[in-house]
Structure 1
Amino acid sequence: MAAKATPPARERDPVLSIGGAASEVRGVALVLHGGRADSYDAVRPTHLSPLRMRPFAARLASGGGGQGLAVWTLRNRVRGWNGEDRSALRDARWALGRISVEHPDVPVYLLGHSMGGLTALSAAGHPQVRAVAALAPWLAPSSPVEPVRGRSLLIMHGDTDRWTSPTASLAFARRAQPVAADVRYVRMLGAGHFMFRTVPVWHGMSTSFLLGRFAEDTGAVIDRRVLERSAPLFRAGDPLDITA
């Protein structure tokens, strides 16, 4: 009897890793990795894009797991966005559907880098999503802001990024201001796309921002030292002119 053929990557389910709260889930953080413009190659666990998100997931779990924050890390089926297929967005919506089934009444927080940042901003219209942290997101002048309506939004972008556009990110933040609950844009001085420079700021500020929103939404008690990592966001005179 012939062995059953393995279906192409695009026909399989994405992969979810779940950590943080083991019971009494009061909120869910969904972590989304980057990728390529076009590729139907399978995402492997050893690829740098998903590996790059592990520290973010670990910080979210450490800071909020004890207070009921579950952390779901998504590994996409394929590496690309793939034009009209919007493969990564399909996978994020699949994960949000799973969250809705398992935890239908809890707030959801999205964190993504690069293509994952675009995915997070595009998926933010899901009714349970409360806040988004988009890191060096892959945006265009036509990227719609409607999905972030009523959401809290943080965008962080290195000013020397040559892979995605800090100018497009700032323009998106400006266009989002009239519709989002609040918007903050952080210019990471001297930082490029892959977050090699000032790594603790990328990790600490973005996760602290989401943990703060989780605390506000649920009454969770988050360590003051963790929340202090995002304090510069709220002390700035202009929320779209923050440097780090």
Structure 2
Amino acid sequence: MRTARLGRAVGQGPTAVCGAVLLLPGGEEVSARRPSAVWAAASVRAFGRAVGRSGRGEGLVTHVVHYRYRGWNGGEAHPAADATWAADEVVRRYGDVPVCLVGVGMGGRAALRAAGHEAVNSVVAVAPWLPEEDAAATPEPVRQLAGRRVLIVHGTNDERADPELSFRLAARAKKANRDVCRFEVHSDGHGLHQHRDEVLALTADFVRGALFGHSLARPLEDALAAPPPIGLRMPLAAGFGRSLRGS
């Protein structure tokens, strides 16, 4: 039997853990292969470093989740099940600490799906891969997002994961949960390479606020407070990270 596992803590782990981030890598729509541990860590390493720096001194621990399978695999939704297992494992290791799920691509969908775990208080979905909408199919669930803070970030030129699908999911989630916001990275693609620093800074600020109660940067506060569609199509300003460091 294959089992999921947590990678080593990213960076130097704290003496006392007060919060945890689980990093969920991308993947493929269908695949029974086991993902490479090196590949999985590389795909989310930058986010691990960013949130690690932000949570330094706060008792933050960060782990990469290593899936059993590379694919989502239809109704099996293997990465979402592995994310739920990982949240259980955090509780087993560290006790009753808040957890933020940070997922990229298919990992973004897994983070949104696994948000119903009682330890999870927040979710970051970066360029989430979502299924094409079909009138005959069951819509992607959003009820599990109630009571969680949710940040979605998507490039407007993403050709691998349709940004319009993440907007529609955010709009449905916002009806039941006001703590949902979504940022658009204009003219950027799936990897968000052109504005990577801004995306990392936005994620780190959100995680720090969600897990440890710190004030959020003004753009995040505005996006969460704004009614749809404004707060769900918030542009991510160039230089976001630099403006935080200069404040």
Q: Normalising by the residue count of structure 2, what TM-score does the alignment of the two structures yield?
A: 0.84
Instruction: Name the counterpart of 1:34.
Output: 26
Task: Please list the CA deviations of residues 58-116 of structure 1 after superposition, one character each: whole Å capped at 9, or x if unmatched.
Answer: 11111113111111211212211111221111211221111121223111111001110
Per the TM alignment, residue 241 of structure 1 is displaced from its structure 2 partner at its CA by 2.5
**Is the CA contact (8 Å cut-off) linking 2:128 and 2:166 kept in structure 1?**
yes
Matched, 1:75 2:66: yes
Q: 1:105 aligns with which of 87, 96, 106?
A: 96
Instruction: Name the counterpart of 1:3.
Output: none
**Is the CA contact (8 Å cut-off) linking 1:188 and 1:243 kept in structure 2?**
yes
Matched, 1:177 2:178: no
Q: CA separation in 2, counterparts of 1:22 and 1:215? A: 15
Alignment-mate amino acid for residue 38 of structure 2: T
Q: Normalising by the residue count of structure 1, what TM-score does the alignment of the two structures yield?
A: 0.85
Unpaired stretches in structure 2, ≥5 consecutive residues: 134-138, 237-247
| 3-state SS, counterpart of residue 62 of structure 2 | strand
**Is the CA contact (8 Å cut-off) linking 1:150 and 1:179 kept in structure 2?**
no
Instruction: Name the counterpart of 1:213.
Output: 210
Q: 1:240 aligns with which of 232, 240, 247?
A: 232
Matched, 1:63 2:54: yes
Per the TM alignment, residue 207 of structure 1 is displaced from its structure 2 partner at its CA by 1.8
Instruction: Name the counterpart of 1:187.
Output: 184
Per the TM alignment, residue 214 of structure 1 is displaced from its structure 2 partner at its CA by 1.7
Task: Trace 1:88-237 onto structure 2 (pairs within 5 A).
Answer: 88-140=79-131, 141=133, 142-216=139-213, 230-236=217-223, 237=226
Which piece of structure 1 moves more, 12-21 or 129-138? 12-21
Q: CA separation in 1, counterparts of 2:99 and 2:165? A: 26
Alignment-mate amino acid for residue 126 of structure 1: H
Q: CA separation in 1, counterparts of 2:78 and 2:233? A: 33
Q: CA separation in 1, counterparts of 2:4 and 2:25? A: 16
Per the TM alignment, residue 15 of structure 1 is displaced from its structure 2 partner at its CA by 4.1
Structure 1 pair 28/185, CA: closer, same or farther in 2 (3 Å)?
Answer: same
Q: CA separation in 2, counterparts of 1:126 and 1:13? A: 17
**Is the CA contact (8 Å cut-off) linking 1:21 and 1:65 kept in structure 2?**
no
Instruction: Name the counterpart of 2:243.
Output: none
Instruction: Name the counterpart of 1:14.
Output: 5
Q: CA separation in 1, counterparts of 2:85 and 2:206? A: 25
| 3-state SS, counterpart of residue 99 of structure 1 | helix
The alignment yields a C-alpha RMSD, in angstroms, of 1.8
Alignment-mate amino acid for residue 204 of structure 2: T
| 3-state SS, counterpart of residue 52 of structure 1 | helix
How many percent identity over aligned positions? 31
| 3-state SS, counterpart of residue 66 of structure 1 | coil
